[in-house]
Amino acid sequence: MNQRSTRPIGRATTLFVAIGLLAAACSSGTASVAPTTAPGTAAPTTSGSSPAPSTASLAGQTVTVIGTWGGDEETAFKAMVKPWEDSTGAKVSYTGTRDLNTVLTTGVASGVLPDLAGLPGPGQMTQWADSLVDLGGVLDKATYTSETSAPLVDLGTVNGKLVGVFIKTSIKGLIWYDPKVLTVATPPATWDDLQKLITDNKSKAASPWCVGVESGAASGWSGTDWIEDLVLRQAGPDVYKQWYQGKVKWTDPAIKTAWQTFGDVVANSYGGGNTVNATNFANAGDPLFKTPPGCLFLHQASFITGLGGFKTATSGTDYNFFPFPDINTQFTGAVEGAGDLFGMFHDTPASRSLMAYLVTAPAQDVWVKIGGAISANKNATDYPDAISKRSAELLANSKIFVFDASDLMPSAMNDAFWKAIVDYVKDPSKLDAILASLDTAQADAYKAQ
């Protein structure tokens, strides 16, 4: 899912407990029974907003939800749904799992599914489209599309059927630093400018970069963000698209160059490769705040402000960011984004009402005010600080927007990509073998689609 604190994290035992998780999530209340409303019946709407939740006959019902959120993110989601619970008398029964992909794959095969679920990404969503409810009959689609960035609407649509909506989004490719350590009067416009900034300030920290790719069973995903940003800015959006579609091989020079550039970053990272593989992505930037600093820069998405050392630091005083600089100036203004998709597996009055509520600006303002999230709804503006607002503006004003490539790949390709990052960080000398292995995985993964 994108937001990469929402990447699936922890698969070792999930194959044994997936059915149990789903059964538990689907066992409470009346909302996990067969549909009681006819598909295609939209919820009531109010002028200028997404559909308003209907409160009729919902008291005592429960909507079962499965997602990847835990810790602070789970707390934020529960705060987001509480106004709906208070107004309807219904309840949300939330189950968190860090291996959502496996759990839902098992559920789609068995038919044991929650009412609503976070979806690992557009690629997996497309594979499950036949099992998902068409939200065009649940939401006021015209209002939803007017309030949501067009690329996000398109990413949630499969063969004309709206099956996924974005609960929150993030901007990738942000370069974070501590303004008390480093003065950045003018953000570097190019990769060469960034290298000069590093050279001029290398004495101020132990290393130029902080990097951490540990994330349980999904270890490696934060490194995929590096590769994606580099492919986008070195080779451009057309190659980027052909790559995630399986039409450009991993051994292609354009893709290999991105890996080699990432390898240079790892070689100049805090603690080196072993530390990179051992450090959880959420804490990768913590050395920014050490005395003396462990690194000058962290590459991470906008959601990092709600995690690790950023969570207790002060925006603008302890941390700031600039966008990923241009490498090939043909592609100036390119932005990579991601987001947390939600879909509906059971069409019930309560699940309809909750889904309609979740896409509204008031609902999403609850989460963005807490921090660490950008709303998919253009009318949500309750950001807690100037840095969060800048992140939202980057998404709204992007000249070239692409979605996270690995999220658009088939599950098997995505998994192989994560593992390859870990292998490469461990031993960069094996790059050619790693890329050849990814070519083999690509041939199998896309053939199976």
- The model's pLDDT over 357-392, given as tens digits with 9 standing for 90+, comes to 999 999 999 999 988 788 989 899 999 888 888 888
Q: Which helix (H) or strand (E) holds 420?
A: helix 411-426
For residue 48, give the nearest of 147, 152, 135 by alpha carbon: 147
CA distance 240 to 401: 11
Report pLDDT for 122: 87
Task: Residue 44: count other Cβ atoms within 10 Å of its Cβ.
Answer: 12
Question: What's the average model confidence in pLDDT over 339-347?
Answer: 94
Choose the weakest-confidence range: 16-20, 80-84, 283-287, 404-408: 16-20
Residue 61 to residue 85: CA distance in whole angstroms: 10
Query: Among 177, 139, 164, which Cα is nearest to 45's?
Result: 139
Let me know: does 382 contact 368? Beta carbons within 8 Å: yes
* Domain spanning 4-170+339-397, CATH class: alpha beta
Name every residue whose Cβ is closer than 8 Å to that of residue 215 and which is 6 or more positions away in sequence: 4, 7, 9, 221, 222, 280, 281
- Mean per-residue pLDDT, 307-323: 94
Supply 126's token pair.
């497309």
pLDDT confidence of residue 161: 96
Structural domain boundaries in the chain: 4-170+339-397, 172-336+405-447
Query: Which of 103-107, 185-189, 321-325, 444-448 is predicted with the least confidence, judged by mean pLDDT?
Result: 444-448
Instruction: For residue 234, give the nearest of 295, 175, 173 by alpha carbon.
Output: 173
Fold: same for 4-170+339-397 and 172-336+405-447: yes
- The chain-wide mean pLDDT, for the chain, equals 87
pLDDT at 56 over 60: no
pLDDT at 24 over 70: no
Beta-carbon contacts of 130 under 8 Å, excluding residues fewer than 6 positions away, are none
Query: If you count DSSP H runs as helices and E runs as strands, how many of each does the chain have, helices first?
Result: 16, 12
Number of residues written out for the chain: 449
Report which of 110, 61, 136, 69 is spatially closest to residue 343, judged by C-alpha positions.
136
Q: Yes or no: say if 414 and 407 are a contact pair by the CB < 8 Å rule.
A: yes
In the prediction, which pLDDT does 8 show?
A: 37
Write down the pTM of the prediction.
0.76
* Helix axes 431-447 and 411-426, enclosed angle (nearest 10): 170
Tokens 């789970």, residue located: 74
Predicted pLDDT of residue 49: 39
CA distance 88 to 73: 23
Topology, domain 172-336+405-447: D-Maltodextrin-Binding Protein; domain 2 (3.40.190)
Distances (CA, A) of 57 to 87, 130, 140: 12, 29, 21
pLDDT at 363: 96
Cα→Cα distances 16→43, 205, 269, Å:
38, 45, 37
Spatial strand order of the sheet with 295-300 comes to: 207-210, 295-300, 174-177, 320-323
Q: Is the dihedral of CA 333, 147, 90, 29 positive or negative?
A: negative
What are the φ/ψ torsions at residue 427 (nearest 5 degrees)? -150, 90
Q: What is the pLDDT of residue 399?
A: 74
Give 94-151 pLDDT, tens digit per residue. 999 877 888 999 999 999 999 999 998 888 899 899 999 999 999 999 999 999 888 8
Q: Map tokens 């996270």 to a residue.
A: 404
Instruction: Measure the CA angle with vertex 408, ends 402 and 411; round to 5°.
Output: 160
Distance between CA 208 and CA 195 in Å, rounded?
9
| CA distance between the termini of the chain | 19
Among the residue ranges 154-168, 187-201, 259-273, 383-397, the one predicted with the least confidence is 383-397
Question: pLDDT-based confidence at 71, cuts 50/70/90?
Answer: confident
Q: Do the beta carbons of residue 265 and residue 209 sit within 8 Å?
A: yes
Adjacent-strand bridge partners of 315: 319
Please state, in angstroms and rounded to a whole number, the distance separating the CA atoms of residues 184 and 187: 6
